[in-house]
Amino acid sequence: MICLYCHSRIREEADLITMFKRRKPLCMPCRKKLSLWRSGGRCGFCHRLVDREEDTCPDCRFLAGNYRRPGKIMCMMDYTGEVKMLFHRYKFTKDAALSEVIAMFLKCRFGEYDMSIPIPVSAARMEERGYNQTSMVLRAAKVPYRDILATDKAARQSELGKRARLTAPNPFYLKEGRAASSLAGKRVLVVDDIYTTGITVHQALEKIYTMKPDAADVLTFSKA
């Protein structure tokens, strides 16, 4: 067994407890590094690091003025230098094994929701990467999900500025079919990999709210 993050071998003592536990593909030092949360005030809604602790940060207030808010936003890892590196390797060098590492950090009661919906990737990104980075993590965590959203967006989000993201038309649409039309009255969880400005998630929610779900929350692996 090797650690999928640092590739060193994991040697674990075999005792009664470890013998019957599923072995995790991450060594202790790496797990410690990746679980670190920077100290400081945080926005009570999107968990962004802010100078002064408050219920909603300017970003959230701005989004609330333009979009309908989700019920809550859950964030699993702090976007530290190490986590940044993790996502860079996972998304841009195509180190797909890291989906198992990220899956280890999902602490969320998925059972409270009727449906988990990952943010889709465009055809261009799919051709480049070969996988949807969000649903791959959900699969590694053994969380059932439904692909009811699709996108025709071409440019990479991380290359766009905030204004460009906001003025662009909503790139998401709901796939035809039973799943989308059965959203009414359901509790829905929208899952995204990295929450930067929040515009992506809010645009996806805009489409989902048209189907009148009972509640919609957001789960994001990390908050930039």
Partner 1 sequence: MIIKHMKGEIYMDRGVDPDKYICHRCSNDMKRYFYKYHSAYHGTDVVYCLKCVNIGRSDSVTPLRVIHTARKPEPCRYHLDFELSEAQQAASDRIVEALSAHSDMLLYAVTGAGKTEIVFEAISLARRRGMNVAFVSPRIDVVKEVHLRLSGAFRDSDIDLLYTGVKETFEHRFTVCTVHQLYNYIDHFGLIIVDETDAFPMSSDRQLLNAVRRAAAASSTTVLMTATPDRGMIEFAGAENVVTLTRRYHGHDLAIPKVVWQGITKDVNRRRLPAGLEGLITGILEKGRRVLVFVPEISLMEKLQPLVAAKFPGADSVYSGDEERYGKVDSMRNGRTRVLLTTTILERGVTFKNLDVIVVGAETFNSDSLVQICGRTGRKTDDPVGNIWFLAEYNTGHIRRTIRIIKNFNAGRTTL
CB of 168 to partner 1, least distance (A): 25
Contact window for partner 1 (CB under 8 A) among 44-52, 112-120, 126-134, 169-177: 126-134
- Cα distance between residue 75 and residue 137, in whole Å: 14
Amino acid occupying residue 145: Y
Q: In 3-state terms, what secondary structure has residue 187? A: strand
Q: Kindly give, in sequence order, each residue whose CB lies less than 8 Å from that of residue 176, ignoring residues fewer than 6 positions away.
A: none
| Residue 174 near residue 184, CB atoms below 8 Å | no
In one-letter notation, the amino acid at residue 56 is: T
Residues shown for the chain: 224
User: Letter for the amino acid at 115?
Assistant: M
**Can residue 78 be called a binding residue for partner 1 (CB under 8 A)?**
no
Indicate the residue among 67 and 131 with the shorter CB distance to partner 1.
131
146 part of the interface to partner 1, by CB under 8 A = no
**3-class DSSP assignment, residue 182:** coil
Out of 2, 28, 124, 155, the residue judged to bind partner 1 by CB under 8 A:
2
Binding to partner 1 (CB under 8 A): which residues in 80-119?
Answer: 81-82, 89, 93-97, 99
Chain CA centroid to CA 121, Å: 13
State the minimum distance, in angstroms, from the CB of residue 91 to partner 1: 12
We find the least distance from the C-beta atom of residue 138 to partner 1, in angstroms, to be 13
The answer to whether residue 36 forms part of the interface with partner 1 (CB under 8 A) is no
Say how many residues touch partner 1, by CB under 8 A.
18
Interface residue list for partner 1 (CB under 8 A): 1-2, 4, 7, 9, 33, 81-82, 89, 93-97, 99, 126, 130-131
